[in-house]
Chains A and B, each alone.
Chain A
Amino acid sequence: MKAGESILAAGVDVGSSAVKFALAQVAEDGAASLLALHNERIRRRELRKVIRDGYEVFLEQAGVRQNDIAYTASTGEGELVDFRRGHFYGMTTHARGAVFLMPSTGAVIDIGALHARAMRVDERSRVMAYRMTSQCASGSGQFLENVARYLGIMLEDVGPLSCEAKNPESVSSICAVLAETDVINMVSRGISRSDILKGIHLSMAGRYTKLLRSIDACGDVAITGGLAADIGLCRALEEKIDEEKLTMRVRAHPDSIYAGAIGAALWGAHRHRILARRPEVVA
């Protein structure tokens, strides 16, 4: 590799519900641009195969070959990415991806299928403080996905439907699994799908606001993770923050769900440069 040449780096973010891929072109000075993004939902298929097949589709779409990529990094549950060169912890990749997408980010709330975590970050995307949800899936993305399935709604319709709500129905049960049954109950009581979804979004938003407060987040809060694509949840989070008069602004980027994969690609490129400068380490 010649000095000054830009390289290609890929990031693979293995979540519990979807695998996300990102390809970035990174210049010597660290300036980066995104070339391709791909999202592959797992849908209970064999994970190793989903990752492999998804990666092939992704490479084809990007029009590159595996050999063109200088560094492939995994994040999330990345043990099964057997073609990776390195792995980065999810918190650092989400912070990096969020700051890349939205440079004014002061805090990140990563909302995935099972966990949510809030991080306070500095302008170099270092994590200054963090807090995660505890050992219970109440209000997780998986739960929302199950509810959508029960209601016969495609996941991408959840957000728009929630935004149409007039009288959000509050969700009483705390348990994620039993709340599904609560939802059936609501349907049988004739409550509209919009009001049910909005109620769930509000209860989830309440939990996330608590997380953000506990790390003293302020300024621009970037939403990342799979649920960043859910406009209804983002709206509910804004409402909760307003209600509690906190000095935060919630922001989502169209590519927010790829933040982890993007962060992994960028950190991967960074590590590749360091290794390239110290050839003895590679050998």
Chain B
Amino acid sequence: MSVEILLGIDLGSTTTKAIALDRTGRVLGRGITNTRSNYEVASQIVREEALVQSRFELLRHALASDPELSGIEPKFIGALVRNFRQQQHLEQVEFLESELHRCADAPRYAPNRKTVKEMLRLICQEMKSRVPDHFSELAVRKSDFFRDLAAADYMQCAERFSDAKHASFDVLCGLFDAAILEVENAAGNGAFERHASPALEQTLAAAPADIRTREARLRPAVESVRSLDFRVLGMVGTGYGRQRLPFPKEQIRSEILCHGLGAHAMFAGTRTVLDIGGQDTKAIQVDHTGIVTSFQMNDRCAAGCGRYLGYIADEMNLGLHELGKLAQESTCSIKINSTCTVFAGAELRDRLSLGQKRSDILAGLHRAIMLRAMSLLARSGGISDEFTFTGGVARNPAAVSALQGLVEQNYGVRKLNISPESIYTGALGAALFAQRSAEGGNAA
């Protein structure tokens, strides 16, 4: 069986996103990964990920429409997805381990190779033993990206196992940096085909009775989405790295257009869009059809972009997810003096070592980034009506409340739209452009 889909890919500087739509424009699956130096691999990975999610989504439809199975699908698919992710993660840790050992074969490690390799073995053993915890039902992950999860685990273990004489922390860090690049730049195709069966067995083995009794009907349902073929009717790429996407020119749209259209599709009443991405910040005015009428953009300086918060998160060894939550615990926001991102990072370290609270400093940093967004909004024409906030930063609750406060101060009360999927706005716009051209192509 085959399913017809439309794809939009948004290659951002920090994350790459993909959206798969069916012919009617309904979202089937989304994919996201951290962007790496090989754009082709990044876009392949998100595409693959969007298709994996599409299969889960189609499975959900299939189960929901089967009278004997409907009702158990949230529980069953939830467990299946967790087990699937666990398998996928484990495979990557194993790959990382082999790359680490390969890197340790470099001549410079010869004098202490035995110790270094023994340490790598211990670290990876510990990392593997932690995998089930990361993907348990109640687990709160710092990040959804393998790189972040693996780095956090690795650094913790490395600090514990390292010894200054034979394999210092520094040496172990260097090995990780080299190995993770190799792991990230290998595209893991066919994940669903590989991991669906073991994940299914794992799920059934641990499943409650109401699921196990329906095993005979669940197995063929999973098998049928596993063997499904996707036929891509159209694909459009956008984002910061769009010029480097392996697409023909006519399948590329500017990110301004895609964000305008994507925001319009999510909230039809939108007239102003603020997009804070990793690499740039855009303030866009759109008309009632989602077409852009004016915009302003900052892509010269990282202060005011999402990268600012990303840099701070790295600096604090936190995942981007945790940053906003921590800032919200603040009782007294601190004014940050530095403008430059790197200096703000140093200021953060200084303030921490002086004993100021992490949450208060973070609240100040969130306000700082929003102050810069406000000036961009003002230059693009201000906020006259309904207002949509998109991009990765819109997922950050502290950033949103800082923005809300500033908008109200400057423009009065305005309706602020944020979709939980707002990070996919550009990809959605791109997929809709793909749908338009596919329709146009069929008509012709």
Chain B residues with CB under 8 Å of A48's CB are 353
Q: How far is the CA of A154 from the CA of B174 in the complex (A)?
A: 6
Q: Mark A236-258, 1 if CB is under 8 A from B, else 0.
A: 00000000000000000000000
A184 to B349, CA, bound (A): 27
Q: Complex: how many Å from CA A253 to CA B13?
A: 39
Task: Check if A175 sits within 8 Å of B317, measured CB to CB.
Answer: no
Q: Which of B37, B173, B244, B315 has the most CB atoms of chain A within a 10 A radius of its CB?
A: B37
The listed residue with most B CB atoms (<10 A of its CB), out of A41, A79, A177, is A177
Stretch at the interface among B137-145, B256-264, B340-348, B368-376: B340-348
**B278 to chain A: which residues have CB within 8 Å?**
181
On whether A43 and B169 interact (CB within 8 A), knowing A80-B353, A177-B302, the answer reads yes
B170, closest chain A residue (CB)? A41
Residues of A150-197 contacting chain B, CB below 8 A: 150, 152, 154, 173-178, 181, 184-185, 187-189
Q: B300 touching A135 by the CB < 8 A rule? A: no
B296-317 Cβ-contact flags toward A at 8 Å (1 or 0): 0001111001011001000101
Q: A136 within 8 Å of B by Cβ?
A: yes
A-B contact pairs, 12 of them (CB 8 A): A16-B349, A80-B353, A114-B342, A135-B338, A143-B342, A154-B174, A177-B302, A178-B305, A178-B307, A181-B307, A187-B37, A187-B38
Q: Chain A residues near B241: list those with CB within 8 A.
A: 185, 188
CA A135 to CA B178, docked complex, whole Å: 32
Contacts of A77 on B, CB cut-off 8 Å? 350
User: Given known contacts A77-B350, A114-B342, A135-B343, is B300 in contact with A177 (CB within 8 Å)?
Assistant: no
Whether a CB of chain A sits under 8 angstroms from the CB of B279 is yes
Residues of the B chain whose Cβ atoms lie less than 8 Å from the Cβ of A43: 169-170, 173
- Across-interface contacts of B119 in A (CB, < 8 A): none
Seed contacts A135-B343, A175-B341, A188-B244; 18 additional CB < 8 Å A-B pairs: A16-B346, A77-B350, A114-B342, A136-B339, A137-B340, A137-B341, A143-B342, A174-B300, A174-B301, A175-B302, A178-B300, A178-B302, A178-B305, A181-B278, A184-B37, A187-B37, A188-B38, A189-B244
B36: CB under 8 A from chain A? yes
The answer, among B35, B299, B305, B311, for a CB contact under 8 Å with A184, is: B35
Query: Roughly how many angstroms separate A149 CA and B429 CA in the complex, as a whole number?
Result: 34
In the assembled complex, which residues on chain B have CB atoms less than 8 Å from the CB atom of A173?
Answer: 300
> In whole angstroms, how far apart are the Cα atoms of A244 and B280 in the complex?
35
Residue A44 at the B interface, CB < 8 A?
yes
A70 lies within 8 A of chain B by Cβ? no
Q: What is the interface of chain B, defined by CB distance below 8 A to chain A?
A: 13, 35-39, 159, 164, 169-170, 173-174, 177-178, 180-181, 240-241, 244, 278-279, 299-302, 305, 307-308, 311, 315, 317, 338-343, 346, 349-350, 353-354
Chain B nearest CB, measured from A92 CB (Å): 21
Kindly state whether residue A57 has any CB partner on chain B within 8 Å.
yes
Give A138 Cβ to nearest chain B Cβ, in Å.
Answer: 8
Say yes or no: A136-B340 contact (C-beta < 8 A), given A16-B349, A178-B279.
Answer: yes
Q: How far is the CB of A188 from chain B (nearest CB, A)?
A: 5
Question: Which one, B38, B178, B340, B343, contacts A152 given CB within 8 A?
Answer: B178
Let me know if A69 is at the binding interface, CB within 8 A.
no
A70-100, CB < 8 A from B: 77, 79-80
CB < 8 Å: which of A135, A142, A185 contacts B244?
A185
A80 to B352, CA, bound (A): 12
* B220–chain A nearest beta-carbon distance, Å: 43
- B299 contacts A176, C-beta separation under 8 Å: no
**Chain A residues, CB < 8 A from B37:** 150, 184, 187-188
Q: Is the CB of B353 within 8 A of A114?
A: no
Chain B residues near A125 (CB-CB < 8 A): none
Nearest CB in chain B: distance from A137 CB, A: 3
Shortest distance from the beta carbon of B351 to any chain A beta carbon, whole Å: 12
Task: Give chain B nearest CB distance to A57 CB in angstroms.
Answer: 6
- A176 surroundings in chain B (CB, below 8 A): 302, 340-342
Let me know if A224 is at the binding interface, CB within 8 A.
no
A contact residues around B341 at 8 Å (CB): 137, 175-177
Are B39 and A177 touching (Cβ within 8 A)?
A: no
CA–CA, A175 to B302, complex, Å? 7
Most buried by B among A41, A150, A176: A176
Q: Does A47 make an interface contact (CB < 8 A)?
A: yes
Least CB distance from A25 to B in Å reads 25
Interface: A203 (CB within 8 A) = no
Contact call B279/A181, Cβ cutoff below 8 A: yes
- Contact between chains at B315 and A137 (CB < 8 Å): no
Q: A174-B300, A177-B302 are in contact. Are A114 and B244 (CB under 8 A)?
A: no
Determine if A140 is an interface residue (Cβ-Cβ < 8 Å): yes
Collect the chain A residues with CB atoms within 8 Å of residue B338's CB. Answer: 135
Given A57-B164, A176-B340, verify A47-B353 contact (CB < 8 Å): yes
Contacts known (A57-B164, A136-B343, A149-B177); A177 close to B170, Cβ less than 8 A: no
Known contacts A152-B181, A177-B311, A184-B37; is A142 also within 8 Å of B164 by CB? Answer: no
Closest to B314 in A: A44
A75 to B420, CA, bound (A): 48
User: Cβ of B305: which chain A residues have Cβ within 8 Å of it?
Assistant: 178
Assembly CA distance A137 to B305 (angstroms): 16
Verify B353–A137 contact, CB threshold 8 A: no
CA of A134 to CA of B234 in the docked complex: distance in angstroms? 49
Closest residue to B180 on the A side, CB-wise?
A152
The answer to whether A175 and B301 have CB atoms under 8 Å apart is: yes
